[in-house]
Structure 1
């Protein structure tokens, strides 16, 4: 073993420095310092000795001692071998290794073109480890030497200047220093001249940007360059970029097990996988977490998992004195300008998995274009990931960091103002999308500026946006219900604006959940006190929970503000009639519906009249009064086609359902076909699916199983992703398949149905279990 390691450790300890601090001060990599002190690396070059001596600020006598300790193992500067040691726990990245190795060993060269690759990614992603691993694998292709230089682009201290970097590379090549001062162009020319005709691999680690690297590229096509950086080297022509992502679970688990060095992660794979996920599969975090477990032989994997579970403490746990995830993030952030840093600090107020550009603009209180510019700067620093146009995502550990940063660097008032701005965006989008569906009560409540932030977006455009954002909107509404008075005041307004979306997309369970929250925050607002229980009743009714629907509609009909609006009261009575009808209380249902129809006729509310007649016709069918049924249905269809053809599908669908339930299958099929045609005309896909579902039921009852199956499969293509109709249609499809003797196929559909129902806590799951058990 070399005498050099103990001597170096003595001087470092005397300075009171860690190996990481010595690396930062000297420019020698921390891995190289560790290898030298441990005796694993026995070839300190004269330049390494020079850098360590300067970094430690040694006296002449101390430098002589350091040189003497390493003199027996020094390599001549004429053939530099500067690569840090390959990581003993390196694993995975097989595709990336193969790609880079092919690039540097293919032998395909063009005069003046240097094979250059840049590995880019967030801090701690494993760029240096991959580059060093590949460099060792291809080193024999570059027999004239391998240069390594840490450019210190992101970290403590200032990045190396281009002139400093050229000086160190020139020293490594054994060049005599110039007699007088020289500028960057002269130094670069001298460096390139020294590499001319030689086969040398140059590894430039932790580059700040393309400008720092440009002058360090050789001019000889016999050489190759491997760069690592947190920034893309887009300013360098001909550079092959490799964007490094976090490790896949399997590779991350293998790395963790190698670092721990025993079987604790293997014997508890559940905790091990949780540790990997809590570390965001980030190699730096895995090294720290695995190292802590290795240093604590009495800990189990479950013990470490518990320590990492608390997001408020996670970053504290992912620090071991020498390595620190939080510090790695801060180094990246330090490279941003003030505007970028200010934007980053407010992102902690967003809780969703992905961040939409419109939401970010509201959060930052900036125009869309300026917001996008700032977010793209964060993307450039790999503090934010661009997952799609106008959509971004934070790595889990960066989210932990930015949330603690937001809490620490902003005051309560600014955080509340940002949350309110986002809620007002949601209000604008909801209110603009529901304008065509609002009754006079809602219109009189709404202020003219509620929808201003939605711009000129159409209902279809906003609905498409809701399809992506709705889970985060729902979560924001829940948080607002427990927030400040200003936030609570927006809850009912947002939820009531979302009612048409929930109805058209058939997301009735979401409607029930949010309307329940809205009711609790309605407070003294008379409009909210009338509209919220009215909406809640309709959502419960659409979800098939008719007892609750009756209770809430009864409350709504007694609200003073609702009584002032006869048309809305008429609609409430018609809805009450429907709910009572579904509970089998037909006489009460007929009385409520007749009252609603009479009131609607008095105020000229034809759509409400049509809906009321639909209920009366359905009741008549259940009472065995076909003439009355036909009369009421005929009038309902006539009215709605005259005044609101875009709503005709609703009436036609329910007429079909009523005829089906009363056994008049041909009439039912005719109305379901008319419903499908009407829904297609106005682009209501879910209504098309409901018509197909109705046709499937009719054909099943008629014994036309092939036709029934086709209708239901067509419906499934439309509703997949909306769990309630999907579960309902899959259960029915299973019945069709079972009737056709295809029991295995039926069980597949019922199993999928059960999974949907269980996942969403539906009480209908027991019925499907009965089908599977039977």
Structure 2
């Protein structure tokens, strides 16, 4: 993009807040989190080249995935496509990328340019122009860079920009104070101080503005606040400048008086208000209030842009205990300087224990009295009093905070008719019938804000001693401000308690709500008030939904629990969502807050309806639905799978409409934890057929996700339930699945036992399909434990039967296992043939996750016959597939083989890069058999590179695991590699001992000498 083209370009990219890209008035959707962070990193360093590794660090907050570099390059390519002129905007240079754009196109560059202009104007004594440019620079901010997200480089850049913003704010306030502004600055300064609580210069400016507004006591109180904060957080006293200012305010120094403003109209805030005096009725602002900066910024922005017609109304809703009142009070104080006639506060008692909501006429009377109307001047009659209130407030400019509202009827008659007032309304339910409103729904607190509250209440010294326990405490409190505050207050009043001790007390869910009670405050009481505010039918629905064993509840499972249609269930869910008894983080799914779940479980225990008591019809309907829905999904995804008798289960259920395989795959992935939890619950209740059917369906997803322990748990439940049912067909199926789980976990003896029993049952039943499956599984175990001859016969028989039955999918699986057997045996040409046949079937069936395994086995066999180029070709395709379809162990296997192949082809840099990807990969998700093979491959690679120390470590790790699970050929390969590495390191005797043991094992297995390396 040339400079002339850029000058005419309407393109604009904003990073001072969430990442935005605009093409004129049209928003360009960047298409995902990775692309947003890549673009933000490049824009923050506009003009500078960032390497791919630097962009990886910027994108991922934690450990990046194995494919991180590939994803970054993919994101850059996509950004170039979707951003107009993107090819000229993002330039490839050397080994990285840079953004080439004019300052006018980037808000961060415009911010810097405006600050530079303001600096130049101040040097020329043009204060008015400097104010304009500083205000323009600050107006560009919509929040923290990337809203606080991103890797360390982005966070560091964001912190630096925040420091520049703070300096600009201080400079702007100095200029505005110098030209005579006072009261109108107080609200803004309180907001700035909340954002930068340790900036002493801002505190001093606030103290001066308060003093010049006739609020000497408030100015002195502000000094005490900052002194306490600095002492608790940093262990220091305020600096000399702030201390001197405090002393001057204390003695009412006339030199601090407001400077004479320049000629011109007086600021609105300085016009005498006239009698009566401004009302100040807000509750005290919590000194340890933290967080909610995004919501406060949203409110202030609304005040700048709201219509001039009618009052400005902000409705704040959220679940009980989320801090609505504290937030509204903080918001009222932060903008109070805009409203010279004062601030009014009234609790309407919409949700109060054993109390009745205040009526609108009674509220009008209370508010009129706050404004100075004598009691004997109040007219009789509700409508007359409401009219007097509206007439009185119409002449005022106030902040009106109506707290704890039950419904719209309570507040509608109280709304001021003018646009000079701000109305803040808090309610536990969303007042959906209230029009012309800014809605602010408060959620729970972030980790950072929760920790900041803890430091404010307990002192940072105490929280720093137990950071892990503090994090766990916050999790147990569900990040709910009321719960956190109660827990912290208990700790503050019990200095001998450790945080970990309270965590231990709260770890029992049945008593957690009891621990979160302090005096008249308590989470359970707060939730009970909200619960009792529901209609009877909604309270019943709330309890029934508490029977759901999963974390998230969709419309169809809710319909099953409630015994209604999905449409009726959705309406009920939305009522509970509006009442904040449910939460929603994803469209179509609803969730209990953790403490609300504890509350509903307590209700169920009291009512005798919990999962631990008698089974309710609702629970039976839910389990029926989950069986029916998961059957439908698995039938779509795994065509030709074995049909088993459902025994009438699920006949009345209404499953979701899932017509496409991708929809079904996402559903199964989304619901796997619910299905597993439902199987556990059904087993506890003795619903054995439900157990076997649910377990049969969920194991597909547990296997794909690498959750092998959960896979084994589900299979063991199914085996136990099948035995109780006394149905050999279900027992054979369950044993077969348990054998697979044991294979994944490296439990070969248990796997042989399970597959042998399953095979006998299949033979007794004359079940050819089951016989084919279990024969192949037993052959896999036999081959891995070194019984090659027996394994070969079993696998060949399995393949023959599957071919006769037309079971191409499972035939391909057995062909891969046959290839693996030949590879271990050193019969590489036969391994190539078997893997090639498996791949051909997987390609025909378009089973991409199976293609990955078949290609990897084919590549390994090619390496055995020294066909390195052919191996490289297969692995190149696999590296494309694993990004979207590969399980963790398969991803690592592909990159380990890629490293070894590239080393053999002389591409040493590529080999090192792929090896590094494997080393950074998440080993905890590899199954033991994959771990052993990968470690031996990397050990061989490092030996070829002359890195015998690391090779020895890897081979030793492989030997240990292989010996513990009985993987004999890989144990021999590990010993052989370890012996070579030890000998190269000068430990010849030890090396020879390992090599002799390796040769013994190879000989026992029948592996030919030329295939042992």
Instruction: Give the TM-score of the pair, scaled to structure 1.
Output: 0.75
Q: Does residue 686 of structure 2 align to residue 495 of structure 1?
A: no
**Preserved CA contact (<8 Å) 1:737 1:745:** no
Alignment CA distance shift 1:228-1:125 (3 Å): same
1:688 maps to what in 2?
Answer: 851
Q: 1:158 — aligned with what?
A: 356
Determine if the alignment matches structure 1 residue 719 to structure 2 residue 885.
yes
Of residues 731-740 and 265-274 in structure 1, the stretch that sits farther from structure 2 once superposed is: 731-740
Report how far residue 301 of structure 1 moved.
2.3
Q: What is the rounded CA distance, in whole Å, between the counterparts of 2:698 and 2:302 in structure 1? A: 54
Query: In structure 2, what is the Cα distance between the partners aligned to 1:472 and 1:336?
Result: 27
Q: Does 1:732 align with 2:732?
A: no
Distance in 2 (CA, whole Å) between partners of 1:140 and 1:733 is: 66
2:753 is the alignment partner of 1:551: yes
Structure 2 residue corresponding to 1:472, chosen from 674, 697, 716: 674
In structure 2, do the counterparts of structure 1 residues 190 and 109 end up closer, same or farther at CA, with 3 Å as the change threshold?
A: farther
Q: Deviation per CA, 1:488-539, whole angstroms, max 9, x where unpaired? A: 3422233234566667778766544322221122222333333322343355
The DSSP-based 3-state class of the residue aligned with 2:828 is: coil
CA–CA distance in 2 between the matches of 1:435 and 1:111?
60
After superposition, what is the alpha-carbon deviation per residue over 1:191-248, rounded to whole angstroms, capped at 9, x for unaligned?
A: 2211223211111112212332222111111111112222223322221111212121
2:765 to 550, 558, 563: 563
Q: Which residue of 2 aligns with 1:277?
A: 475
SS in structure 2 at match of 1:764: helix
Output aligned runs, 1:440-519, within 5 Å. Answer: 443=643, 445-447=645-647, 449-450=649-650, 453=653, 455=655, 457-458=658-659, 460=661, 461-481=663-683, 483-485=684-686, 487-498=687-698, 510-519=710-719
Partner of 1:115: 312
Classify 1:259/1:99 alpha carbon distance in 2 versus 1 (closer, same or farther; 3 Å). Answer: same
User: 5 Å matches for 1:371-382?
Assistant: 371-382=569-580
Question: Residue 677 of structure 1 corresponds to which residue in structure 2?
Answer: 843
> Which among 504, 517, 524 is matched to residue 326 of structure 1?
524
SS in 1 for 2:414: coil
* 1:348–1:405 contact (8 Å) kept in structure 2: no
Deviates further, 744-753 or 386-395? 744-753
Residues 744 and 929, structure 2, Cα contact 8 Å, conserved in 1: no
What CA deviation, in whole Å up to 9, does each residue of 1:471-493 have, x standing for no partner? 23223323433x132x2342223
Q: What residue in structure 1 maps to residue 623 of structure 2?
A: 423
Question: CA 1:139–1:728 in structure 2 vs 1: closer, same or farther (change >3 Å)?
Answer: same
Name the structure 2 match of 1:630: none
Of 277, 281, 296, which residue of structure 2 is paired with 1:82?
281
Corresponding position: 1:204 with 2:402: yes
Equivalence for 2:965: none
Pairing partner for 2:916 from 739, 744, 748:
748
Match status 1:405 vs 2:603: yes
For 1:761 and 1:392, how far apart are their aligned partners in 2? 37
Q: Please give the per-residue CA displacement for 1:614-653, whole angstroms capped at 9, x wherever unaligned.
A: xxxxxxxxxxxxxxxxxxxxxx5xx68xx56777755776
Aligned residue for 1:628? Answer: none
Query: Which runs of 5 or more residues in structure 1 are unaligned?
Result: 1-38, 42-74, 598-607, 612-635
Cα displacement (A) at 1:727 = 4.2
CA separation of 1:434/1:97 partners in 2, compared to 1, >3 Å: closer, same or farther?
closer
Paired position in structure 2 for 1:65: none
Contact 1:345 1:409 in 2 (8 A): no
Query: SS state of the match for residue 392, structure 1?
Result: strand
Q: Name the Cα RMSD after superposition.
A: 3.8
Q: CA deviation at 1:269?
A: 1.7
Counterparts of 1:201 and 1:140, CA distance in 2: 10
Distance 1:249 1:539, change over 3 A: closer
1:225 is paired with a residue of what secondary structure?
A: strand
Indicate if the aligned counterparts of 2:763 and 2:771 stay in contact, CA closer than 8 A: no
* CA distance in structure 2 between the aligned counterparts of 1:590 and 1:81, rounded to whole angstroms: 88
Contact kept? 1:329, 1:398, Cα under 8 Å? yes
Counterpart selection for 2:461 from 253, 263, 269: 263
Q: 1:351 to 1:444 in 2, by over 3 A?
A: closer
- The more displaced of 272-281 and 723-732 is 723-732
Query: Which of 434, 437, 448 is the equivalent residue of 1:239?
Result: 437
Q: Tell me if 1:249 matches 2:447.
A: yes
Q: Tell me, what secondary structure is at the counterpart of 2:719?
A: helix
Residues 351 and 357 in structure 2, CA contact (< 8 A), matched pair in contact too: yes
**CA distance in 1 between partners of 2:560 and 2:747 (Å):** 37
Match in the other structure for 2:321 = 124
1:201 and 1:501 mapped to 2: Cα distance?
55
Q: Alignment partner of 2:284: what SS?
A: coil
Q: Is the 2:768–2:801 Cα contact (8 Å) retained in structure 1? A: no
Report the counterpart of residue 800 of structure 2 in structure 1: 609
CA contact (8 A) 1:540 1:546 kept: yes
Partner of 1:313, secondary structure, is helix
Instruction: State the 1:87 CA deviation.
Output: 0.8
Alignment check: 8 A CA contact 2:544 2:561 kept: yes
User: Aligned partners of 1:327 and 1:248: how far apart in 2?
Assistant: 24
Residue 468 of structure 1 and its aligned partner are, at CA, apart by: 0.8
Give the match for residue 300 of structure 1: 498
Contact (CA 8 Å) 1:425, 1:454: kept in 2 or not?
yes
* Match in the other structure for 2:535: 337
**Rounded Cα–Cα distance in structure 1 between residues aligned with 2:443 and 2:333:** 22
Shift in Å, 1:355: 2.3
User: Which of residues 912, 919, 931 is equivalent to 1:764?
Assistant: 931
Q: Match for residue 143 of structure 1?
A: 340
Aligned to 2:419: 221
Mapped partners of 2:932, 2:542: distance in 1: 45
- The aligned residue for residue 300 of structure 2 is 101
Does 2:729 align with 1:527? yes
Q: Specify whether residues 574 and 713 from structure 1 end up closer, same or farther in structure 2 by C-alpha distance, changes over 3 A only.
A: closer
Task: Report SS of the residue matched to 2:439.
Answer: strand
CA contact (8 A) 1:124 1:284 kept: yes
Q: Is it true that 1:368 corresponds to 2:566 in the alignment?
A: yes
> Across the two proteins, how many residue pairs are aligned to each other?
654
Matches of 1:110 and 1:569 in 2, distance apart?
Answer: 75
Contact kept, 8 Å, 2:317 with 2:426, in 1: the verdict is: yes
Q: Quick one: distance in 2 between partners of 1:242 and 1:223?
A: 18
Deviations 1:161-215 (A, max 9, x none): 122222222222234567764344x443322211223211111112212332222
CA change 1:120–1:450 in 2 (3 A) is closer
3-state SS, counterpart of residue 349 of structure 1 = coil
Q: CA 1:573/1:133 → structure 2, altered by over 3 Å: closer, same or farther?
A: closer
- Identify if the C-alpha distance between structure 1 residues 688 and 262 changes in structure 2 by more than 3 Å, giving closer, same or farther: closer
Describe the shift of the 1:237–1:738 C-alpha distance in structure 2 as closer, same or farther (beyond 3 A).
Answer: farther
State how far apart, in whole Å, the 2-side matches of 1:121 and 1:444 are. 47
In the alignment, which residue of structure 2 is the partner of 1:710?
Answer: 876
Tell me if structure 2 keeps the 8 A contact 1:126–1:284.
Answer: yes
Q: CA deviation at 1:564?
A: 4.1
Measured at CA, do residues 666 and 569 of structure 1 come closer, stay the same or move farther in structure 2, by a change above 3 Å? closer
